[in-house]
A and B are shown apart, each in its own frame.
Chain A
């Protein structure tokens, strides 16, 4: 199975900050990686697929990138509505696996 190691598990940031969340795959997954945002008691919302393709309606302050088996989600100029938990997901092969999540809260 492909393990997805996400870091950090939590971070505190201020409005306007730039934050970076990282996911490392245990083996090559090409660019078969998605990012989701989840707010409390809500279903996850897709942000990015194919490592860097922004989904329709997602603000351009969100971006994704890949370097080998390392993937990053960057949020520039953090907004109040961005405080949430973020998950990566590999879909290169079954079983589909998620990272452990990164909770972003207000400093």
Chain B
């Protein structure tokens, strides 16, 4: 079975840093673009970042310069390094797999999510 398991969420003070991880199994991790999508409490879905199979990266404007996405194909793991965190970054962060190796970036597999709370 294809599975994604996030970890690393928690409570952090404004201005602080946190690193999220997503461990993948059941597919050839290195072939697929991987994504982070977040959902603030009671709100909708917001795409945050993508790292392609070729290690290219994309970010939503609100996190550019503060978040860094990366991957370690030897460990089948996706990361999101978050710094200078703000209250508005409070959300459940989902790891999501691009559905196909070519074509557009829609998501066929999601992790269970990890909650990040930015508060003093």
Contact = CB atoms under 8 A, between A and B. Distances in A.
B99 interface: yes
B94 A100 contact: no
Contacts of B1: none
Contact-residue bracket for chain A: 20 to 34
A17 to B, nearest CB: 24
B61, B106, B108, B112 — which one has the most chain A CB atoms within 10 A of its CB? B106
B50 A94 contact: yes
A98 B47 contact: yes
25 contacts: A32-B104, A34-B106, A36-B45, A36-B107, A38-B45, A43-B94, A43-B110, A43-B113, A44-B94, A44-B107, A44-B110, A46-B108, A49-B99, A91-B105, A91-B106, A92-B104, A94-B50, A94-B105, A95-B47, A96-B35, A96-B105, A97-B47, A98-B45, A100-B44, A101-B44
A22 interface: no
Interface of B: 35, 44-47, 50, 58-61, 94, 99, 104-108, 110-113
Contacts of B59: 95
